[in-house]
C-alpha cells in the first residue's frame, strides 16, 4: 500500500494521471473526493484541485483502497516522529486519550503512522486489563424456562397463554460478560485486526480477542459509532481501570473515525480539526496558569430582539474568560487557527475578528483585555520584550485593550510561560 504524508496547510500532495510513489493518480483522487462527499467532510478544508490535494485545518489519517494519507501538524523540527509526538500530546491535552511523555517516547513513532500508534496503545492497554480479568455485570435476560427464575414476564405470558406449554416466560438478571462496554472493546480489537499493517499489532490484538470470546461480535457500523459517541458507560470502582481503554476504543470507532466500504474496498479515517485541538490545548495551558477559567461563557448577548427580553439575536461566546481576582480586570482569550504574518498590515488579522473582539470589550464591563491568540510560525516576528505582536485600545478608554499574540505549541514549557506572560 502506498503511504503519503503531508503537512496540514503548508504541504500538498500532487495529482498526476498515473500517480507515483509520492503522488495520487486521477483514480485515487476521485476516490478521495467520493470519500469526502460520503462522510460530509468540509470540502473547503480538503481542497482537491486538478493537480494537487491540500489539507487545511484537518490532521489525522485516511486509508483508501490502495493508499493511505497521514496529515501532520506543522512543527519547527523537520521530523515526522516529532510531529506525531506533538499531535499525540495535543490529543492527550484535549481529552481524546491518555498518554504520558514517557509512554510516547517508548513508541516507534518514526516508523508507524497515527492509526498504528493509536492501535498499539489500545491493544497494549486493553490486554493489560483483560489479563487481570474480564469485567462482568448483571444483564437483564428474557427467556422461557421450565422453572421460575427471577420474575414472571406477565405481558409475554398473556400473549402465549393459548399455547399448551409448561415453560414459564421469565425476566431475570444474569452475571455476564456480554455487555456494552465489552462489546465496544471487542469491536475496536476487530477493527485493529482488520486494518493494521503491522503483523505484531495484529497478533497482539488477536490474542486480546481470546479473552472476549463470550462477547458478541458487533460490526463497526454507523449505529454503534453514534451510540458510543452519545452514551458513555457508567464507570465505577470495579470497571474504572478500563476507562483509558474505552477512550481509545471510542476514538478508533467514533464518528471521527468513519469506516465504510467504498467501491467494494474497505476505507477508514481518523481526522481531527486543528482549530479544535488548538483551542482545547490553549485551555489546558490556561488552567495550569490561572485558577478561575470559564470555557465558552454564554452570560452575555450582543443584541436582544424587541418585544422579547429573553431572546438574544447574537449570543456571545468567548473561548475563555479568566477572572484574576483582587479587583483586577478580567481577560478574554479567543483562539484562532489562522495564519498571520508580520509582513502584512495588522499582521493580517481579519476585520470580522476585530468586530468580534470589540463586542467582547463593550459587552463585558469587567473585562479589561481581550487577547487574540494565533499559532506561531516563522513569518511572525518575536518582539524583544515578548509582548504582543499588535496592540490597540478603545478610543477614549485606554483600559480596554485588544492584543494579538502567537503561541508556539511545540515546546509545552515555553508555551506555558508564554501564556503566563499574556495574562499576568
Q: Tens digit of pLDDT for each residue in 383-414?
A: 777 889 999 999 999 999 999 999 999 899 99
Regions of the chain where pLDDT drops below 70: 161-162, 164, 218-231, 255-266, 308-312
Close Cβ partners of 240 (under 8 Å, ≥ 6 residues apart): none
pTM as predicted: 0.84
Spatial distance between the Cα atoms of 184 and 215, rounded to a whole number of angstroms:
10
pLDDT at 172: 83
Q: What distance lies between CA 351 and its chain's CA centroid?
A: 29
pLDDT at 169: 87
pLDDT at 83: 92
pLDDT at 296: 96
pLDDT at 220: 44
CA 210 to each of CA 116, 133, 188, 203: distance values in angstroms, whole numbers, following the listed order = 21, 12, 14, 11
pLDDT at 310: 66
Q: Which residue has the cell 485600545?
A: 393
Amino acid at each position: 500500500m502506498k503511504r503519503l504524508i503531508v503537512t496540514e496547510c503548508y504541504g500538498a500532495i500532487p495529482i498526476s494521471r498515473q500517480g507515483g510513489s509520492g503522488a495520487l493518480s486521477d483514480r485515487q483522487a476521485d476516490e478521495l473526493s467520493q470519500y469526502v462527499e460520503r462522510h460530509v467532510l468540509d470540502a473547503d478544508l480538503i481542497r482537491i484541485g486538478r493537480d494537487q490535494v491540500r489539507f487545511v485545518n484537518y490532521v489525522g489519517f485516511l486509508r483508501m483502497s490502495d493508499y493511505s494519507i497521514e496529515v501532520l501538524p506543522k512543527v519547527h523540527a523537520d521530523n515526522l516522529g516529532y510531529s506525531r509526538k506533538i499531535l499525540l500530546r495535543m490529543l492527550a491535552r484535549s481529552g481524546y486519550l491518555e498518554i504520558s511523555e514517557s509512554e510516547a517516547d517508548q513508541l516507534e513513532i518514526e516508523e508507524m503512522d497515527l492509526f498504528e500508534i493509536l492501535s498499539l496503545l489500545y491493544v497494549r492497554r486493553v490486554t493489560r486489563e483483560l489479563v487481570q480479568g474480564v469485567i462482568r455485570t448483571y444483564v437483564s435476560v428474557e427467556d422461557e424456562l421450565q422453572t421460575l427464575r427471577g420474575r414472571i414476564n406477565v405481558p409475554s405470558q398473556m400473549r402465549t397463554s393459548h399455547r399448551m406449554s409448561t415453560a414459564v416466560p421469565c425476566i431475570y438478571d444474569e452475571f455476564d460478560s456480554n455487555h456494552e462496554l465489552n462489546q465496544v472493546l471487542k469491536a475496536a480489537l476487530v477493527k485493529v485486526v482488520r486494518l493494521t499493517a503491522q503483523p505484531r499489532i495484529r497478533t497482539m490484538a488477536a490474542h486480546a480477542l481470546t479473552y472476549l470470546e463470550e462477547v458478541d461480535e458487533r460490526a463497526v457500523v454507523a449505529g454503534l459509532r453514534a451510540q458510543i459517541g452519545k452514551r458513555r458507560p457508567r464507570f465505577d470502582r470495579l470497571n474504572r481501570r478500563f476507562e483509558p481503554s474505552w477512550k481509545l476504543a471510542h476514538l478508533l470507532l467514533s464518528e471521527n473515525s468513519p469506516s465504510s466500504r467504498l467501491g467494494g474496498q474497505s476505507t477508514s479515517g481518523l481526522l481531527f480539526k486543528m482549530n479544535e485541538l488548538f483551542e482545547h490545548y490553549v485551555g489546558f495551558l490556561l488552567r495550569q496558569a490561572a485558577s478561575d477559567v470559564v470555557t465558552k461563557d454564554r452570560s452575555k448577548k450582543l443584541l436582544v430582539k424587541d418585544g422579547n427580553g429573553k431572546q438574544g439575536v447574537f449570543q456571545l461566546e468567548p473561548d475563555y474568560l479568566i477572572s484574576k481576582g483582587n479587583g483586577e480586570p478580567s481577560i478574554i482569550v479567543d483562539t484562532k487557527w489562522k495564519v498571520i504574518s508580520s509582513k502584512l498590515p495588522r499582521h493580517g488579522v481579519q476585520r470580522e475578528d476585530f468586530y468580534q473582539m470589540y463586542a467582547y470589550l463593550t459587552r463585558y464591563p469587567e473585562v479589561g483585555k481581550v487577547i487574540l491568540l494565533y499559532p506561531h510560525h516563522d513569518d511572525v516576528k518575536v518582539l524583544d520584550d515578548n509582548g504582543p505582536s499588535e496592540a490597540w485600545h478603545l478610543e477614549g478608554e485606554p483600559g480596554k485593550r485588544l492584543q494579538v499574540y502567537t503561541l508556539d505549541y511545540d515546546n509545552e514549557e515555553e508555551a506555558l510561560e508564554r501564556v503566563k506572560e499574556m495574562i499576568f
